[in-house]
Amino acid sequence: MATTSVSGNSRAPATAAGRLLATAVANPFGTLVVLGLAYLAWTLGLPIVDWAFVNATWVASDRAGCNPDGACWAFIVNRLPQFAFGFYPEAERWRAWIVLLAPPLLLLLAMAPDFPGRRRILVVGFCLYPIAAFVMLAGGVLGLAPVPSEKWGGLLLTMVVGLGAFVFSFPIAILLAIGRASKLPAIRLLATGFIEFWRGMPLIAILFMSVIMLPLFLPPGVEFPRLTLAMIGITLYSAAFLAEVARGGLQSVSRGQSEAANALGFGFWAMQGYIVMPQALRAVLPGIVNSAISLLKDTTYVMVVGLFDLLNIVNAALSDPAWLGLATEGYVFVGLVFWSLCFGLSQVSARMERDAERNQSRTPSGERKAP
């Protein structure tokens, strides 16, 4: 902003220190802020380091065994299996491990160098994941012992709810986006109304309602577990937001594309599936990842309907009499897990955005739509 013109008498090249000084003088407010923050970091940061690392206890059997001056990470270490899997029975944990590790493995595959069929494996893998995970965890088929969904919890539940809602909401979102862009007024109206309803409601209220209202809507005698009810609510909520993202993508595809497809004799669905949607979704890929990030963070709301996701299971563990008063440790742990997941995903989205920009500026026709 304020580039001070250093009077041009001396031509000596500015040293780093000199430039720093010039910036500091030019921008006294900024300098003040920096000095204040440095002081704060010094006075606050040292005790935090002391607490989190120097005086921390990693191994102990209860609160009393922890150094009271430092963090009691032993609480987290002792409870780690529970935080990961909830109350999933010990003998069947291998199933939970598979479900928990499948998405990271698929992601690794996505990062790996290309080989024939990789894309198909990825798409099929992610699409089948929710159903496969559900079957794997619930059991009752293929000789797997049944485990009721009330026992699922922790990071496992966060993963199942988050990824499940995301994958299920995707086709709904695409249909809604196509519907909202449709020329048929009845369909456009229905899609718009649906999207605006689910976007306008707070997720908390949606969850409450799906647990209270959905059983009323179902035929008498049909009962779903809470997890399913909550999943339905989150899926529709997420579908409405994704539909808006997809709509943005649809708008970015020039009309010539669909007209060309029509001229070549493509039917409506073939045109959408082969020509329009691939371009539309690629254009809004960062937006899709951002929706996934918000969805991941929003899965914590299932706490209000009594499901034990990662945040709620830590929250519940805080009232264990052997480990009282460790809220800070518990929340810092949850925070680290969520932060790394969300930050990682946001870096992916930022990279996609940069790549897209580079590709776009390389296109010769220069057909760029204003955002």
Partner 1 sequence: MAVSDQDMATGIWNAAEGDEADARPHLGPRQRWARRKAILQQAAVLLLVAAVAVFVIRNTVVNLQARGLASGFDFLRQEAGFKMAFSLIAIDPTSTYGRIFLAGLLNSLLVAALAIVAATMLGFAVGLARVSPSAPVRYVARGYVELVRNLPLLLHLLLWQAVVLRSLPVVREAIGLGGFAFLSNRGLYLPAPVAGDAKAMVVAVAVATGIAAIVAGWSIRSRAQARGEAPPRLGLVLAAGGLVSNAAAIALLDWQVPVLAGFDFRGGLKLMPEFVSLVAALTIYNSAFVAEIVRAGVQSVARGQREAALALGLPPKLILRLVIVPQAMRVIIPPLANQYTHLIKASALATVVGFPDLVNVFLGTSLNQTGRAVEIAVITACVYLALSTSVALATSAYGRRVKLVER
CB 59 within 8 A of CB 76: no
Q: Does 255 interact with partner 1 (rule: CB under 8 A)?
A: no
Q: Does 184 interact with partner 1 (rule: CB under 8 A)?
A: yes
Burial class of residue 284, CB neighbours in 10 A (0-12, 13-18, 19+): buried
Distant-in-sequence contacts of 95-99, Cβ < 8 A, 24+ apart:
95/136, 95/137, 95/139, 95/144, 95/147, 96/137, 96/152, 96/156, 98/136, 99/133, 99/136, 99/137, 99/156, 99/159, 99/160
Burial class of residue 248, CB neighbours in 10 A (0-12, 13-18, 19+): middle
CB 136 within 8 A of CB 101: no
Q: Does 334 interact with partner 1 (rule: CB under 8 A)?
A: yes
Q: Does 48 interact with partner 1 (rule: CB under 8 A)?
A: no
Q: How far apart are CA 23 and CA 2, in angstroms?
A: 9
Q: Does 44 interact with partner 1 (rule: CB under 8 A)?
A: no
The window from 42-50, 57-65, 101-109, 296-304 that contacts partner 1 (CB under 8 A) reads: 296-304
In the complex, minimum distance from the CB of residue 142 to partner 1, in angstroms, rounded to a whole number: 33
CB 184 within 8 A of CB 218: no
How big is the site for partner 1, counted in residues (CB under 8 A)? Answer: 56
User: Which residues, 81 to 140, sit near partner 1 by CB under 8 A?
Assistant: none
In the complex, minimum distance from the CB of residue 98 to partner 1, in angstroms, rounded to a whole number: 26
Q: Does 219 interact with partner 1 (rule: CB under 8 A)?
A: yes
Q: Does 300 interact with partner 1 (rule: CB under 8 A)?
A: yes
In the complex, minimum distance from the CB of residue 336 to partner 1, in angstroms, rounded to a whole number: 10
List of residues contacting partner 1 (CB under 8 A): 1-3, 23, 26-27, 30-31, 33-34, 37, 183-187, 190, 196-197, 199-205, 208-209, 212-213, 215-220, 293, 297-298, 300-301, 303-304, 311, 315, 318, 327-328, 331, 334-335, 338-339, 342-343, 346
